[in-house]
Amino acid sequence: MKPTAKLSEAGQSLWLDDITRELLDNGTLARYIAELSVTGLTSNPSIFDHAIAHSEKYDQEIRRMTARGYASEALFFELALEDLGRAAEMFMPVHEATAGTDGWVSLEVSPLLAYETEETTAEAIRLSKRANRQNLFVKIPGTREGLPAIEEAIFNGVPVNVTLLFSSDQYAAAADAYMKGLERRISAGLAPDVRSVASLFISRWDRAVADKVPEPLRNTLGIAIGTLCYKSYRDILDSDRWQRLANRGASAQRLLYASTSVKDPKAPDTLYVKALASPNTVNTMPEGTLKAFADHGELGDLVPRDGGDALSALDQHRKAGIDIAALATRLQTEGAQAFVDSWKDLLKAIDTKSRALN
């Protein structure tokens, strides 16, 4: 049995953090679904920027859409919805077989709206209606301004992938926004079965402190953060508040481990996948990490329900001079800015290609 199949049997969903038209056209995504237990897919501006700028697969459609008056952001969403719509169809069998728990794809709202609550909410609702796919998440950042947008989107029946989470406190705030949206639906007489995942970024922690901690602590902070968030996740599912929602038909907002490719070339390339195996969670990984785990990955002990020694590991980092709370805030801010920069690069690439083709 492949390591990816063992991870799936342990209860963790494997999602691909990548999408290109080549993956769709040449059968690679279909093969990953059939052979590597891939049950979902995520995307972001960087992924689409690389896909569109470095492929001729989009040229004909860009030429056609430009002639119809589409440009920049509007043109991008047409291209993205086409790709994600095809992927969503491929994942529909698993979506139906798991009663909506799995088989999702994700599309991000414009990162330029990360600190604009009302605009993010309106865009999330618009994109969800435009896509018209029951297994498509709209990605909304878990920033302070994003939290009320998450609540409002959930209340409006929009499935949400909360992105840019870096700590258990940020995760808990996202979970609270999700539950508020569901509670409002129940109060309004609406069904509470609106799905969501909460995406916790892992590897950026270790990259941020790589030159600030002693060697024994290298590549341990991201795992400690992920383990502690798993405890918070399980605590929320055990809470009276969540149990009341579940009793009314709500489904868990699953914890999703994102940014699980290893940035340190000296570390094992499957480090985070092995360390963060846990039931009823998701690990979304780039193609290289997926193939590496399928080839030589190992399934170790599952993440302990009580968080294991995560608090001790965080305390060791504090003693080494790392302000965990401040770093979490900084990483979220930097992450939002990185998405903005990628978004601008993406739109520039689309505009450049549109001019060249016409």
Note the pLDDT of residue 44. 86
Confidence of residue 358 (pLDDT cuts 50, 70, 90): confident
Distance between CA atoms of residues 34 and 32, nearest Å? 6
- pLDDT tens digits, one per residue of 168-205: 999 999 999 999 999 999 999 999 999 999 999 999 99
State whether CATH 3.40.1740.10 applies to domain 3-357.
no
Note the pLDDT of residue 76. 92
Rounded to an integer, the average pLDDT of 85-106 is: 98
The dihedral through the CA atoms of 319, 325, 327, 328 has a sign that is positive
Active-site positions? 139
Task: At 66, list the tokens.
Answer: 């430009």
Residue 71 has a CB neighbour count (10 Å cut-off) of: 13
Residues 195 and 100 sit within 8 Å (Cβ to Cβ): yes
In this predicted structure, the answer to whether residue 316 has a pLDDT above a threshold of 90 is yes
Mean pLDDT of the chain: 95
Confidence of residue 356 (pLDDT cuts 50, 70, 90): confident
Residue 27: burial class (beta carbons within 10 Å; 0-12, 13-18, 19+): exposed
